[in-house]
Amino acid sequence: MSELEKMLQGKIYDPCDAELYKLRNKAHRLSKYYNDTLEEETEKRKEILDELLPNRKEGVYIQGPAYFDYGIFTTIGKNSYANFNLTVLDCCPVTIGDNVFMGPNVSILTPIHPLMYQERNQYYNKEKGYFTDKEYAAPIVIKDNCWIAGNVTICGGVTIGSGCVIGAGSVVTRDIPDNSFACGNPCVVKRKITKEDSIMLKKHLF
């Protein structure tokens, strides 16, 4: 089994593997190219995203700057939007649904590191002749029609159900069921979202 296959299957892998290094380097380079473009350079931006995020559907808009570890392991549904400073470490698959809106400084982080420093620190791989470390990752899923507010961190292994709102500054460490308002560190469900939350009932807004 290759290190790439191990990584995508959530097994301990060698992050310094030559194939992974090459894929990461390409994604980091494409992220920089994208971040250096102007908003009105729509065709140039599309060309970069076609290479960086080939698994995205129509209507996806990434404000930028944005940072992807691999890009090719991230799927984004139609009409989804990300504001400034989106960071996606897609060492395991990241699946973002349709009509998902993300505020500034959202971090989607699949990697997981050992708690014990003896297992976390770098070590010399005699067989390969270089220093590396032990890492693994777990997939992240954000289902359709979610709002992820600013400065939210989503950790590996989490699924956020459809129609959820995740409050600003939250750290999501566990699954969130459909149609929930959740917030906090760690993020917890506060209540269900209902028709009573309609802005049409807020007369002061009109």
Active-site choice (11, 22, 32, 113) = 113
Residue with tokens 């917890």: 188
How many CB atoms lie under 10 A from the CB of residue 204? 4
Q: Report how far residue 127's alpha carbon sits from residue 148's, in angstroms, rounded to the nearest whole number.
A: 44
Residue with tokens 């290759």: 2
Half-sphere exposure (CA, 13 Å, Cβ side) for 159?
Answer: 5
Task: Sort strands 130-132 and 123-125 into parallel, antiparallel or unpaired.
Answer: antiparallel
Helices 18-35 and 42-52 pack at an angle, to 10 degrees, of 160
Q: Report how far residue 54's alpha carbon sits from residue 114's, in angstroms, rounded to the nearest whole number.
A: 31
| Cβ proximity of 117 and 71 under 8 Å | no
Can you tell me whether residue 191 is helix, strand or coil? Answer: strand
Q: Report how far residue 78's alpha carbon sits from residue 144's, in angstroms, rounded to the nearest whole number.
A: 9
Query: Is 113 labeled as catalytic in the residue annotation?
Result: yes
Tokens at 20, concatenated: 């992974």
Active-site amino acid positions: 113
